[in-house]
């Protein structure tokens, strides 16, 4: 990769040798060789064409709230969509860019008396990541609320996908199976409600999260999807991993389905701990623990 050549493309801001400590919720000290911040869809298309032609590894980055960078250096290019953050609200219809904070969107719509996204008030990351992962909480998820999404296809065409086309299921979607598609914007049809009631619900859930989740430590939220047999936290507890550490990566004592970064954990330490738990769950309990987070090599 040639930094000078990339800058000549005029594709927005470009940074070299970027620490991802402030770009991932695990606060890992991984270094990314390059990070690009396209400002427009045209910029995004240009950088993607450049990278694909040269077969350079690359990844879209939002809030970094579900990612584990396994190695100390990411040799490819991270494409950050922070400028794709336009928000438009007309009556109860909401159009929002993929780079907009999902938590902020939840709070904004609740304050305006629009119901449907209050479940997301404690979910970090961006809208794009939330759609990609079908983020959810409190028996709801984004698949229930999203009307349609504007996406960029692997052939760099802009298309609109309706809700059913996105194949939302528990913590997964069409995009997880087809990572070449890039989410640009989401459209919601929310329901009018009393903003005071919505804010009360959000405040109550915030209190419950503070009591039950290790929010004082860097993490990426729930590590495993809940299997059919029992909640994932119960599986981890039953295996005796509550409070167990590998290096700086520790299974939370407050909530066993959280791995927290207590002492400068590396991505490899987190991945090693995850794989050890998965192996024991399968061998000792015959339970397949499916990872909710994404490992980036």
Active site residues: 171, 222, 292
Taking the C-alpha atoms of residue 18 and residue 34, their distance in angstroms, rounded to an integer, is: 7
Sign of dihedral through CA atoms 73, 35, 179, 52? negative
The answer to whether residues 182 and 168 touch, using CB atoms and an 8 Å cutoff, is: no
Token pair, residue 199, equals 């804010």
The answer to whether residues 170 and 134 touch, using CB atoms and an 8 Å cutoff, is: yes
The alpha carbon of residue 106 and the mean position of all alpha carbons in its chain are separated, in whole angstroms, by: 15
Kindly state the helix (H) or strand (E) to which residue 48 belongs, with its residue range: helix 41-53
The answer to whether residues 175 and 183 touch, using CB atoms and an 8 Å cutoff, is: yes
- Which phi and psi angles does 111 have, rounded to 5°? -65, -25
Taking the C-alpha atoms of residue 153 and residue 258, their distance in angstroms, rounded to an integer, is: 34
Selection from 82, 64, 103, 79 nearest residue 218 by Cα = 64
Strand, coil or helix: what is 72? coil
């Amino acid at each position: 990769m040639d930094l000078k050549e990339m800058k000549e493309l005029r594709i927005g801001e470009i940074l070299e040798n970027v620490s991802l400590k402030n770009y991932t919720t695990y606060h890992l000290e991984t270094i990314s060789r390059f990070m690009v911040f396209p400002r427009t869809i045209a910029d995004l298309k240009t950088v993607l064409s450049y990278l694909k032609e040269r077969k350079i590894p690359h990844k879209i980055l939002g809030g970094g709230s579900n990612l584990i960078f396994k190695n100390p250096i990411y040799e490819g290019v991270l494409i950050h969509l922070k400028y794709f953050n336009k928000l438009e609200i007309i009556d109860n219809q909401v159009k929002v860019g993929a780079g907009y904070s999902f938590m902020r969107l939840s709070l904004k719509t609740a304050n305006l008396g629009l119901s449907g996204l209050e479940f997301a008030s404690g979910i970090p990351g961006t809208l794009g990541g939330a759609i990609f992962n079908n983020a959810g909480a409190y028996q709801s998820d984004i698949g229930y609320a999203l009307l349609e999404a504007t996406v960029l296809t692997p052939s760099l065409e802009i298309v609109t996908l309706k809700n059913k086309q996105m194949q939302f299921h528990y913590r997964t979607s069409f995009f997880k199976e087809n990572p070449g598609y890039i989410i640009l914007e989401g459209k919601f049809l929310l329901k009018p409600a009393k903003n005071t009631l919505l804010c009360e619900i959000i405040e109550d859930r915030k209190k419950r999260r503070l009591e039950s989740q290790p929010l004082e430590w860097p993490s990426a939220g729930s590590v495993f999807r809940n299997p059919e047999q029992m909640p994932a936290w119960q599986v981890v507890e039953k295996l005796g991993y509550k409070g167990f550490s590998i290096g700086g990566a520790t299974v939370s004592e407050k909530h066993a389905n959280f791995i927290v970064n207590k002492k400068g954990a590396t991505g490899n330490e987190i991945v090693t701990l995850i794989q050890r738990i998965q192996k024991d769950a399968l061998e000792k309990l015959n339970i397949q623990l499916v990872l909710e987070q994404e490992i980036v090599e």
